[in-house]
Amino acid sequence: MRFLLPALCLGALLLPLSAHAEPQLLDKVVAIVDQGVVLESEITEMTANIERNARAANQSLPPLSVLREQVIEQLIERQLQLQIANRMGLQVSDAQLDQTLRGMAEDKQMTMAQMQQQIEAEGGSWEQFREQMRDEIMLGDARRINVQRRVTVSPQEVEGLAQQLRSQENANLEYHIGHIRIEIPENASNEQVAEGRKRAEQVLVDLKAGADFRQTAIAVSSGAKALEGGDWGWMNINEMPTLFAETVANASGGQLFGPIRSGNGFHLIKVFGVRGGKQVEVTEFRVRHILLKPSVILSEARAEELLAGWAAEARNDKSKFGELARKHSEDPGSGANAGELNWATADTYVPEFQKMVLSLPPGQVSDPFRTEFGWHILEVLDQRTRDVAESHLKDRAYRLLFNRKFMEQQQLWLQEMRSQAYIEVVKDPNAG
């Protein structure tokens, strides 16, 4: 049965032109991934996207054959995660998708129609882009659900890190990290370890001789961010994977480290830059909201419609918001309190909620918007700036520990998922 789906998929890609004509190949299977497949058209599309992005960033790419191998690996991992998301029954409604796309367009200072025009002008398909984003949201939900349950942070860990933060003058320093991993097999022999070290040392020589780090990462790395040029972005040292944190502590911008041996290979780490310093003040917000959770009884469209009506009522009569929240909000924590949440910094909230808090003028009721929890309307009641308190220090310690453990557990989850799957890259009979 394991080979039935790929066989059917491959058969479906052959279209006879007439009763006596030879079949016409429309697509082909490149890899079998458990009960799914990776198609040649997917590889072509992802490669084209990478090439477009590289041109826009004026960044060079490795040879097409090397890039193709990296794309196949990423699509295999993506296919495995999609299968998990489907088994979990995860779905992304059109309303949730449209809100995400509107947010992306706003970040680019465009309307959604302008973003569609740009994608189509660059040779892309708007419908394909929509479905890719739908998958990305679903994959993000699957990762979050599966990885969060593996992460535990104890009060003792929080107190220990909070104590360190108190004593660090530069506790808020952030490092911009680049990473290349040269993979070696699990339970590698001495010869395989030596070969991996040799390859890593040669990459280090090339980088020191002036090779572009991001292009090299795309070409040779098997790390999680390989196709992003090995770029992990800005991170505080306390939220980095342990390997990074132990390596870059007190480093300065431009430094290159490695090869560093771990259980899954040899690592090269570059510090692109360092920023930040001691934080003295934070801005906190006091907000209230009404939450509706779509269900089999309450559709996405109806939830949005109801909230739009209540927002209009609250704009006409400010006293209505609290009354509506008590009566209708499905947030048990705030509903009984007229929808009010405690004072908090914006980064306490999920991205869509955070964005609304930061963009909405105090006293104005928002239009309905979607987060992973459901549909909301929101009002910012007040904001204040004050010195960092002990509670904020511990909140910060918790977030840093959680983010570090989340990234580490995500990598382990992906490795376990792959090790338990049946994966076969189909050999091209026309290849030399």
pLDDT in tens, 46-90: 898 888 888 888 888 888 889 999 999 999 999 999 999 999 988
Q: What is the CATH number of the domain that holds 340?
A: 3.10.50.40
pTM: 0.54
Whether residues 18 and 142 fall in one domain: yes
pLDDT at 162 exceeding the cut of 90: no
For residue 207, is it within any domain?
yes
pLDDT at 314 exceeding the cut of 90: yes
Domain count, the chain: 3
For residue 74, is it within any domain?
yes
Whether residues 317 and 368 fall in one domain: yes
Whether residues 234 and 116 fall in one domain: no
Whether residues 68 and 133 fall in one domain: yes
pLDDT in tens, 336-352: 899 999 998 898 898 89
pLDDT in tens, 98-132: 888 988 888 888 899 999 998 888 877 899 889 98
Q: What is the CATH number of the domain that holds 111?
A: 1.10.4030.10
pLDDT in tens, 242-276: 888 888 877 878 889 989 998 889 999 999 988 87
Q: Do strands 423-425 and 174-183 pair parallel, antiparallel, or not at all (unpaired)?
A: unpaired
For residue 426, is it within any domain?
no
Whether residues 301 and 239 fall in one domain: no
Q: Which domain holds residue 332?
A: 281-387
For residue 157, is it within any domain?
no
Residue 171 pLDDT: 59
d(CA 134, CA 2): 27
